[in-house]
Amino acid sequence: MRLSEAADRYAEHLARVRRLSPATVRAYRADLADLAATCDDRDVASVDLEDLRDWLWRSTERGDARSTVARRTATARGFFAWALEHGHVAQDPSLRLVAPKRGRTLPTVATAANLGNLLEEMATRAAGGDPVALRDHAILEILYGSGVRVSELCGLDIDDVDGDRRTVRVTGKGAKERVVPYGAPASRALESYLVRGRPALAARAEVGPRGAARDAGGPRSSVERPMPAGAVFLGARGGRIGPRAVYDLVARTVGPLVGGDTGPHSLRHSAATHLLDGGADLRTVQEILGHASLGTTQIYTHVSSERLNAAYRLAHPRA
């Protein structure tokens, strides 16, 4: 079996059996496509350790980050373990493959004060009743107030929201569900959007830009998906909002607060860091974020320590 064919079957296994996210499957598929190109797409059973080392060396020579090379090492290990289990290879050539150590990069977070000011500005804009302004305010409040991933936010349906308990039910990585709380400001923003903003956006799903009924096969925005009846957050044309539109919103509003290009994950990082700064224990933050490993959550303790040290150096006369 050629590498490309085996890679396709492995990607299907990741999606259907291991139920990894589409983005993760795409990354693994891209890695294996590059491996197949490097090895001239020959039989998977002919690939040996030297082939894999050459592949990773070429990745390093291209200037790929250590994290990328480490991910490719993990991709190769997972792929050949699967190939061995299914009889496509007689032995696993990746067993002696050594991954480079990942450099620790602390996530960039905005200060609580800056985010508070931004959200107050968004609330002022939303007070005018514009449906997009109402939606944008609610999106930022929910992202920061609950720490959910952008994919989880975009996938929210009306039935997932419990306004009385101020919680949302989200589906995270590996199709795992969890219930996440959000605060009073997010509750007010979400209620205003659902009452005043969402109905106006939903009406656009059936009406074209000139007031004519939209043809069922007509074009839709590239950042919107066809709208199920229960989608919470809608795009400007009435379809379920997509991650790209949320990314653009966060980059436009939160980006100036942290500097550089930033996306929805910056609000997730900020939420986790501010929870720890406020006294939340690590296990609680892990459950809120939906991390499978506590080690993933522990990086935020380093962020809090860095912020504490910075404050000390600025404030203490003997620092």
The catalytic residue positions are: 149, 173, 265, 268, 291, 300
Contacts of 96 (CB under 8 A, 6+ apart): 49
The residue type at 219: P
- Alpha helices (H) along 254-317: 255-258, 265-277, 282-289, 294-297, 299-315
Q: How far apart are the first and last CA of the chain?
A: 64
> Phi/psi of residue 225, each to 5°?
-115, 160
- Exposed e or buried b for every residue in 139-174, given b needs 16+ CB within 10 A? bbbbbbbbbbbbbbbbbbeeebbeeeebbbebbbbe
Q: Which residue has the tokens 């409040």?
A: 141
- Count CB atoms within 10 A of the CB of residue 71: 19
Render 276-287 in DSSP notation, one character per residue. Answer: HHTT--HHHHHH
Cβ neighbours around 248 below 10 Å, total = 13
276-300 CB burial, b ≥16 within 10 A, e <16:
beeeeebeebbebbbbeeeeebebb
Distance of alpha carbon 299 from alpha carbon 240, whole angstroms: 33
Among residues 257, 265, 237, which one has the least CA distance to residue 105? 265
